[in-house]
Structure 1
């Protein structure tokens, strides 16, 4: 291996060129495997000797502000990276203590302006449905989906969309702040310093916000305060770890949110999934299972609804040639929601203008 700094820079440039979202260093008995995640797939990049990895992780700890001597506790760090002297990236590093060593994970966060909402989704009619929900001035809109499914990028794009349409005060509470955005107030949650999501929400309300973005609803107190905020005349957008609308509602019930609030305050649940599309060029675009307030009410009453499911959206994408047969079969094999039916209709011409999330 070259010097740690040279290897680290070369690895990062290669990862960015391949549009990777993460780099994983996985120690084994005699060596360390280096993986990069490209469009959701974890690919082996290289292997390092144990001495080389020790030097490399010490370098990463130093430049990202971690304690080089600490190996018994997990640590988090951050550092900037400039690609070809122009595009700026923020790197989020985390270590995990193992027996006699540590693992390292790096999340690569581009700092360029968030893509337009119109560029994110494969089917433009889904953007129209989402914008209809955003016409509401109060309520909660939740995004669900696995890590890396585009939840935060979508929320950033929504805020940009709202700010273009009307003058409003937008405040975000994030852990971490993934992308620096103009024309909005971004608050870094720091639980060690006492700045929790709940404390940040209380402080943010004193700044008279029209829209609040909460990075994640993690616990009962944050959920309760988020719904209270929406009831008092604010639009709240956030994420929740759940598979789909039914899972989100189940989790909110577990967090003690009354059914009346779910019926009258929760304006929508959008479950996101990224598809590897092939045209007009290889990239990824989002599809969305979207339950609006009427469908949420039906779901609460009868445990069923009629929104367009991932299975139908994937079938549509395959029929129009956006995804290959191989990718369609892989995606089809995943467990998906099984609610109702909906009419299928073709995408507009602008659906080919997508941005990787």
Structure 2
């Protein structure tokens, strides 16, 4: 068997057994460090010599459809991997560094479905999301840093909706992180001319009840998302923002007019994952800063709702989780 293939299988098996979401390869002239990201923390797993890493990198480039001869530009690829009858989608990304290339691999489970209610620490927050997705038009935004579970939550929301009613649902993703039944999933591919903008225009011609946009990355995508919501579609999307209140500032920076924000935005949920110590079957659970209804209206008017007693900030939620014994003191003390 190919030595690189054998090494890849061992690494992926170990990563999956450790519940890692990512593998990071850091190459140096003589050695290459391999890190796992487990429950949000980056942990050194092992070191291999750089000759082994170069063989592994070539193997990954070839199997994921990258250009083996290109080492000066970042590249992206995708591989399907099976582990104990479970399917995983591997998203690979290279980055030129010091005459070498680093490699990051995101591990995306495809066969396990997470129930919406199992994602959240507090049941009342789950009930609020259920209430939001009963709306037939408007925009719901899930925000947070990379790896906070925005896309996982969005998939779970869609699955929950489609179990109750049949809706024409279209997603625009870059890349498609998980294949789903009963949903039309469009892969954004800028090289092929399928940008978020052209994909959105085409998707709207298919008369969707629900439109999911993988990520709002720029002002053009933001404007299309708001226009789609304004014309009678329920739009779900994600955005990188530190917290719920900061999301509004991000949208304003993207040039979204106040009237669009007021007429279109249903709600904002900003997500933070906490390591849980009292739920053996849930390694991490989400707490959410939620903005909707009167709180959202006040926030859009510029009122600092973080001082409101009815707004539950991340600090408040961590304090609550610690009081209930869900999280450790160390987690509670983290900013």
Shared fold (TM-score, shorter chain, > 0.5):
yes
CA distance in 1, matches of 2:290, 2:245: 11
Deviation of 1:316 (Å): 1.2
Deviation of 1:113 (Å): 4.2
Name the residue aligned to 1:270: 269
Name the residue aligned to 1:292: 292
Deviation of 1:300 (Å): 2.3
Could you list the structure 1 runs, at least 4 aligned residues long, displaced by more than 4 angstroms after superposition.
Answer: none
Name the residue aligned to 1:353: none
- TM, length-normalised to structure 1: 0.90
Per-residue deviation, residues 150-197 of structure 1 (Å, max 9, x unmatched): 100100011111112222111110000000011111000001111011
SS at 1:274 equivalent: strand
Name the residue aligned to 1:68: 68
Could you tell me which of 325, 331, 335 is aligned with 1:327? Answer: 331
Deviation of 1:133 (Å): 1.4
Name the residue aligned to 1:4: 4
- Structure 1 position 250 matched with structure 2 position 249: yes
CA distance in 2, matches of 1:60, 1:165: 41
Instruction: Provide the aligned C-alpha RMSD in A.
Output: 1.3
Deviation of 1:28 (Å): 2.3
Shift in alpha-carbon separation, 1:165–1:188, aligned structure 2, 3 A = same
Name the residue aligned to 1:51: 51
Per-residue deviation, residues 229-269 of structure 1 (Å, max 9, x unmatched): 11110000101111122221112112211101111210111
Deviation of 1:62 (Å): 1.3
CA distance in 1, matches of 2:170, 2:93: 27
- TM, length-normalised to structure 2: 0.95
Deviation of 1:119 (Å): 1.1
Greater relative contact order (CA < 8 Å, ≥ 6 in sequence): 1
Alpha-carbon contact 1:113-1:181 (below 8 Å) kept: no
| Equivalent runs, 1:191-206 vs 2, <5 Å | 191-206=190-205
Deviation of 1:271 (Å): 0.3
- Structure 1 position 310 matched with structure 2 position 314: yes
SS at 1:246 equivalent: helix
CA distance in 1, matches of 2:140, 2:226: 10
Per-residue deviation, residues 306-345 of structure 1 (Å, max 9, x unmatched): 3211111111111111111222223xxx2xxxxxxxxxxx
Deviation of 1:11 (Å): 0.5
Name the residue aligned to 1:143: 142
Name the residue aligned to 2:260: 261
Unpaired segments of 5 or more residues in structure 2?
A: none
Alpha-carbon contact 1:115-1:157 (below 8 Å) kept: yes
| Equivalent runs, 1:7-46 vs 2, <5 Å | 7-46=7-46
SS at 2:301 equivalent: helix
Shift in alpha-carbon separation, 1:4–1:321, aligned structure 2, 3 A = same
